[in-house]
A and B are shown apart, each in its own frame.
Chain A
């Protein structure tokens, strides 16, 4: 390019800026990001927005269809369930349980998985292999079976979902981080840093980690969507959140008795789960296509 202005300095975008640019070039990913931002906002603001309490029952309005139906009423936007509870308020409160819970679980699992995975990845030989494969046995137990095992030991309930899904998730993080760190460790630029006299902590944090973050971010988005589906599945099977709870999967289980009479008590929580998971996957997909070309 010919520059007319001699004072003009060509600006080079930073690494992060370029990733962000690629990311927002994908409109679907941006939609997903907005949806997630709204969900996070909802998790914090639900008690102030929801028109009713999630347990408030109205015996005058039982199984009322959603407002767009001819028998519906705007007062109950998504209709009511068999106890006359407002589904809209319950969905809003469910954001906190299903989505908020998944975030908590994933970050707790990430914390533990990161520490173990990083240590085992930095080590070599038998020790590394033992630490890395120690949790492979847990990896082979499907998350739902792990949850069944946890429920058999400590009984059903929302707090136990935390342990069930969390225990199933930690080995995945350990494996992902272990592999990523191990792979980077073989590369020449790490050897160069070693020859420069960097100790292993410096190598890990300043040399290897900058190249592992993107894998970690992708893994986290995948884990969040898997966690939401697991929490909801457990609620649906009545092994997780229990009856009056507005957790989305549990709401569907409660609506199951009226499946034929009032299909919206099932459809609406289902759509809520679908939209949430879809927007997270859209962001994950966008991030992957923004980050991965850089690796090759």
Chain B
């Protein structure tokens, strides 16, 4: 088991270094001066230029430059934003929590609704309902997220005027940023209107979170249904039935835990697509997160912002997917068996 974890961590390190290499090569290909693309300082004074040459080893061989690049990036120095002339790392820590908040709530919605619906679809004998759920999930899987977001915005935000359509909170509320997660910050703040601000933040969150939740919801529903249908045909379920256990006990003790293992795996595989969708959703609903920040960065050719955004999101995805894979192996004895057999 430990050997397996060790191998996974090795894979994580190798992938991260490759990712940094890809980014480093791309940085060299940007249609601007290399020191500008690396540091974000457009017209450096002679001193600054010397400083940049020194930190990024620009006079040295490509290999040394790459090592210096890794050192700078991993120590949290992303240069300054070309556009705002502020440290990119500071901006990143401001936008990252907002994105995580959105992604977390969307994921929660997807699992909270997807798993029960999948269970229902697997257990129901009604063919019409089964077909209906399949059709809904397939449509949800195929719908372009930007169109869905715009339609929801137009319908619930403009025509019905139920929900706010852009941003994280009404600008009237002045909330100090503690964690960066608006739902927590509003509750933490000692202002008299903190609960009203919390409600406002929740209302702002609904539309983007629901839009983003559609894709993982459909995938979770489909996989749960498939896995549970498989599991319920296994002989150990029949054995449990023969022992006279009730349906709910069989389902929750024997069926669902086994059915959720492939769901976990599919969540790990979905992360990349989920991040892409998250970027689009953030742009549509003007959510002040990484996606919005990155897209405005590319419009303004803010090369330091682009590097930092891609690096942070990709590293997050790599570590999360490897974590999920390890979790999958830890809770699933079957995949552990394969592991030992392959040695």
CB-CB under 8 A from A225, the residues of chain B are 142
Write out, one digit per residue, whether chain B residues 14-29 have a CB within 8 A of any chain A CB (1) or not (0): 1110110111001001
A143 interface residue (CB < 8 Å to B): yes
User: Judging by beta carbons under 8 Å apart, are B138 and A281 in contact?
Assistant: yes
CB of A239 within 8 A of CB of B272, answer no
Q: Does B295 contact A (CB under 8 A)?
A: yes
Cross-chain contact A145 with B275 (CB below 8 angstroms): yes
Q: A142-B272, A145-B310, A145-B313 are in contact. List 9 more A-B contacts (CB 8 A).
A: A133-B14, A139-B272, A148-B306, A148-B309, A238-B299, A252-B150, A274-B144, A277-B144, A278-B142
**CB-based contact B154/A142 at 8 Å:** no
Q: Is B88 an interface residue (CB 8 A)?
A: no
> Which residues of the partner chain B approach A267 to less than 8 Å between Cβ atoms?
147, 151
The bracket for how many chain B residues form the interface is 35 or more
Q: Name the B residues within 8 Å of A237 (CB-CB).
A: 280, 283, 295
- 1/0 per residue, CB under 8 A from B, across A258-282: the answer is 0110010011011101100110111
Given known pairs A141-B272, A148-B306, the reply for A273 and B144 (CB within 8 Å) is yes
B156 at interface (Cβ–Cβ under 8 A)?
no
22 sampled A-B residue pairs with Cβ under 8 A: A140-B15, A142-B313, A142-B314, A143-B276, A145-B279, A145-B310, A145-B313, A149-B26, A149-B310, A152-B306, A153-B31, A155-B31, A229-B144, A233-B144, A239-B298, A249-B144, A252-B146, A260-B154, A273-B147, A274-B143, A274-B144, A277-B143
Select from chain B the residue with minimum beta-carbon distance to A285. B138
Closest residue of chain B to A150, judged by CB? B26
The reply on A291 being an interface residue by CB < 8 A is no
B145 near A: Cβ within 8 Å? yes
Q: Interface digits, A214-233 against B, CB 8 Å rule (1 contact, 0 not)?
A: 00000000000110011011
Asked if A190 lies at the interface with its beta carbon under 8 angstroms from chain B, I say no
The reply to whether the CB of B317 lies closer than 8 angstroms to some CB of chain A is yes
Whether a CB of chain B sits under 8 angstroms from the CB of A55 is no
Report the minimum CB–CB distance from B322 to chain A (whole Å). 9
**Could you give, for residues 300-329 of chain B, a 1 whenever the CB lies within 8 Å of some chain A CB and a 0 otherwise?**
010100100110011001100100000000
CA distance A280 to B15 in the complex (A): 33
Q: Which residues in A have their C-beta under 8 angstroms from that of B280? A: 144, 233, 236-237
**B154, A263: Cβ atoms under 8 Å?**
yes
